[in-house]
Structure 1
Amino acid sequence: MTVRRTLFGRPLRGVAFDVAVAGVVVLFSLTAAVNQPGGWASTGVGAGMAVALLFRRTHPSAVTVVVAALALVQVIARWGPLPYDVAVLIALYSVVKYGKRLRDGVLAGAVAAVGVLLAAVQTPGVGAWWATALWYALVTGAVWLVALNVRTRRLYVLSLEERATTLEREREAESRAAVAEERTRIARELHDVVAHSMAVMIVQADGARFMFDRDPEQARTAVKVVAETGRAALEEMRRLVGVLRDAGPSAGSVVAADPEHRRLALAELPDLLARFRDAGLRIHDAATGAPPTLPPGLELTVYRVVQEALTNALKHAGVGAAVDVTLTHTADAVVVRVVDDGRGRPAVSPAPPGGHGLLGMRERVAVYDGSLTAGAQPTGGWQVEVRLPLPSEPATEVIAA
């Protein structure tokens, strides 16, 4: 991180440079007291110009007015051009470069043109006055044009910085909107899971009520299912509340945006892989370990992770890319790994920018306290790996016939 030192609210380096410039003008004015017309009075005029130049960046127009007024005093006193008159050129440069309006710089240029004529008339020499005026005009015009070029470049850089800041704000707003939309989608799907669990509890509770006298054993089994399903539903509800807590007011506007409003489970993974195979991906899938009974919300997360990873592979790796989909079940977690070789046929048109696939996956995985790793492979292609910890007491769903 770069630390910028300031003095009186201005960059320290700029203040030091302006002090050095003013010091040079003061030095020139001191020489006027010894061997130039005006003596110490002329030195006072030069010192006044030097003090004014200290504010040339913050108040360029006012500084130009002060320097021009002091130069007029010099002309009226008929001291002729003196070395400290370089302050006039510095003030002209400053008002063109730092002035809020270019009109001030143009007006200062016109005043400087009049000053060139007056200075040429009072300059002692053997040549014609118009030749001296031409020389002064060339120097003054060059300073004005250089200042205009620097001003144009400075404004261009400022516009680029402002545009970059605006784009950064827009990207942050898009990311926040994508997060809110994905959270709403997750919340809607978890809502379906909770609603399904509640339906199971109602059916089992009704069955237990009628079976208490006829078959107590079956009634106890039904009550056990109600308890297990209730605990699972309560856990899903806790996650649902956690998702909605930061969803923001924009969530309600996207509730009905997705027509796909149904529960998805691991049993539908083969159909999902088949659709992507039909789309042109060469998918090799494998599953290791004994698959435990997963909560419906966790199954949905696994399904969506695979779906999003395959979508990204089709979009970026291209048709014909080889993709390995591995589902690993361990004692305490489910690990999903999707790796493509990146060697498919390039798309006819490039993928549209601004996607939020990884952002959405990260939000889903975070709901279940999981971890996501995504990145390019050294040999080419892309890898997505998600680890989802299993709940301590997985729920068992039993739906009464």
Structure 2
Amino acid sequence: MRRLAEERTAPVPSPWMTLSGRYGRAVARACDMGIALAVLVAAQYYGAEYDLLLGGLMALCLLARRPFPGTVLAAVLTLSVVQFALHGLPELPLASAPASYDVAVLFAMMSVIHHSRTPWMPYLAGGVVLLASAAGTVETAAPGIEPSVDLESLLILWGLTLTVWLTAFALHTRRLYAESQAARAWHVEREQEQRVRLAAARERAEIARELHDVVAHSLAVMILQADGAESVLRKSPDMAQSALKTIAATGRDAIDDMHRVVRVLREGNPDSADSGPARRLVTLDEIKVVAERARAAGLTVDVSVEVGEGRLSPAEEMTAFRIVQECLTNVLRHAGAGAGVDIRLHEEQGTLLIGVVDDGAGTLAGRGIGGRSGGNGLVGMRERAELAGGSFEAGPRLGSGWHVRASIPTRTK
């Protein structure tokens, strides 16, 4: 099989960026429990009546931060508002504020940035936490006195919030990049597999055409020649000898072509230096050879080739020869001995026109040659013409016989 000329690859992200499956879920759950435990432990260091309760509720909310990041952030901020409200009671503060377990707000904000699929949610979460931090630094000394802002605490809280936000946003961007690279690598792999399958299908179609051309034509000629040799063996030994020579020559050519096809199957490149004998070059001159063999098999063949020397490439000559060869094979198989065939090849305005017409040996199209409408031979001829950038047409003639017309764009050398 031929190697593909170009391979596209995509970088695969690091495994730690794309944890998935049971292992990834276990690691994520362990991280969530560790964060919640850290918040709960931090709340135990404060002696106010509701510190442990508020810290425990915040820790409990953080356990659901991955599936419901927005809801968890709203719940933790609500608990923080309650915390500051209890801290601001004039008689006896029932909660400490600010406290180290308020780090739960930052963890909740990170969850929104990292796990939310809405593009504007990270910015909204950052803005809300900054406003909440600013509100937490407002101090009221006594009734009737305007509240003041603890600027030092505000700068510390905002600096910490912005640092956490930027870190989480960078990790979020990196995760999205890793996911996009993994998806790209998957698509490239699927595309590469599809290209390999298409290349293999093209190879199989090409080999099938070659096998059909070699086997069908050669066997048709050899069978008709053998039948003719048998019928005249005693009456005309010379004619029988000529038929046997034709059978031998046809068989040798068929064996050479079969060897080439087998080399393609085994080695994948028929033109490599170590693939054995060079490929037999097929030209338009071969049309006269197969026409002569068809005459020896009992057909009346008239050939006209009006193409300037050097006007066709080897591939174009091969395509034209195979089409004519398949036409003669079909006449031998379906019309039999006694049929007349007219073959015309000529170049017109940069296009090679091929026309093959037979009279069907006088058999009406609807009676004797209807089976020729869908065989492998017609499919192969159509594929060859279309691969060369041309067109193909075949069908029964009015009355008896069959016609084939093909056009192939020429490339002047």
C-alpha distance in 1, partners of 2:223/2:37? 90
**TM-score between both structures, scaled by the size of structure 1:** 0.52
Asked if 1 retains the 8 angstrom alpha-carbon contact of 2:267 and 2:275, the reply is: no
Q: 1:6 to 1:27 in 2, by over 3 A?
A: farther
* Counterpart check, 1:51 vs 2:65: no
Q: What secondary structure sits across from 1:214 in the alignment?
A: coil
C-alpha distance in 2, partners of 1:184/1:140? 65
Asked if 2 retains the 8 angstrom alpha-carbon contact of 1:190 and 1:297, the reply is: yes
Structure 2 counterpart of 1:194, one-letter code? V
Q: Deviations over 1:286-335 (max 9, x none)?
A: xxxxxxx9474233333798893656xxxxxxxxxxxx64749xxxxxxx
Aligned length: 246
Q: What secondary structure sits across from 1:81 in the alignment?
A: coil
Counterpart for residue 95 of structure 1 = 112
Q: What secondary structure sits across from 1:77 in the alignment?
A: helix
Question: Of 12, 28, 41, which residue of structure 1 is paired with 2:26?
Answer: 12
Asked if 1 retains the 8 angstrom alpha-carbon contact of 2:98 and 2:136, the reply is: yes
C-alpha distance in 2, partners of 1:99/1:5? 18
* Counterpart check, 1:201 vs 2:222: yes
C-alpha distance in 1, partners of 2:268/2:42? 77
C-alpha distance in 1, partners of 2:108/2:224? 88
Asked if 2 retains the 8 angstrom alpha-carbon contact of 1:53 and 1:87, the reply is: yes
Counterpart for residue 297 of structure 1 = 258
C-alpha distance in 1, partners of 2:179/2:130? 31
Could you tell me how far 1:164 is from its partner in structure 2? 1.5
Q: 1:307 to 1:163 in 2, by over 3 A?
A: closer
Greater alpha carbon shift after TM alignment, 134-143 vs 194-203: 194-203
Structure 2 counterpart of 1:44, one-letter code? L
C-alpha distance in 1, partners of 2:138/2:149? 9
Could you tell me how far 1:219 is from its partner in structure 2? 7.2
Q: 1:303 to 1:60 in 2, by over 3 A?
A: closer
Q: What secondary structure sits across from 1:308 in the alignment?
A: coil
The residue correspondences of 1:184-333 to structure 2 (distance < 5 A) are 184-211=205-232, 213-214=234-235, 294=255, 296-302=257-263, 308=269, 310=271, 325=274, 327=276
Question: Of 171, 174, 180, which residue of structure 1 is paired with 2:201?
Answer: 180
Could you tell me how far 1:23 is from its partner in structure 2? 0.8
Asked if 2 retains the 8 angstrom alpha-carbon contact of 1:97 and 1:150, the reply is: yes
Q: 1:121 to 1:165 in 2, by over 3 A?
A: same
Question: Of 22, 31, 37, which residue of structure 2 is paired with 1:23?
Answer: 37
Q: 1:150 to 1:191 in 2, by over 3 A?
A: same
Could you tell me how far 1:198 is from its partner in structure 2? 2.8
Could you tell me how far 1:111 is from its partner in structure 2? 1.3
Asked if 2 retains the 8 angstrom alpha-carbon contact of 1:29 and 1:46, the reply is: yes
C-alpha distance in 1, partners of 2:110/2:243? 90
Asked if 2 retains the 8 angstrom alpha-carbon contact of 1:5 and 1:12, the reply is: no
Q: 1:123 to 1:309 in 2, by over 3 A?
A: farther
Asked if 1 retains the 8 angstrom alpha-carbon contact of 2:133 and 2:157, the reply is: yes
The residue correspondences of 1:164-179 to structure 2 (distance < 5 A) are 164-179=185-200
Asked if 2 retains the 8 angstrom alpha-carbon contact of 1:96 and 1:102, the reply is: no
Asked if 2 retains the 8 angstrom alpha-carbon contact of 1:81 and 1:123, the reply is: no
Q: What secondary structure sits across from 1:131 in the alignment?
A: helix
C-alpha distance in 1, partners of 2:221/2:236? 20
Could you tell me how far 1:166 is from its partner in structure 2? 1.6
Asked if 2 retains the 8 angstrom alpha-carbon contact of 1:120 and 1:129, the reply is: yes
* Counterpart check, 1:131 vs 2:145: no
Q: 1:77 to 1:212 in 2, by over 3 A?
A: same
Could you tell me how far 1:75 is from its partner in structure 2? 2.4
C-alpha distance in 2, partners of 1:12/1:166? 28
Q: Deviations over 1:196-253 (max 9, x none)?
A: 2332233224314522653799979989x99xx9xx9xxxxxxxxxxxxxxxxxxxxx
C-alpha distance in 2, partners of 1:123/1:88? 23
Q: What secondary structure sits across from 1:26 in the alignment?
A: helix
Q: Which has the higher Rg, Structure 1 or Structure 2?
A: 2
Q: 1:299 to 1:48 in 2, by over 3 A?
A: same
Asked if 2 retains the 8 angstrom alpha-carbon contact of 1:60 and 1:99, the reply is: yes
Counterpart for residue 83 of structure 1 = 100
Q: 1:47 to 1:151 in 2, by over 3 A?
A: same
**TM-score between both structures, scaled by the size of structure 2:** 0.51
The share of aligned pairs that are identical, in percent, is 33
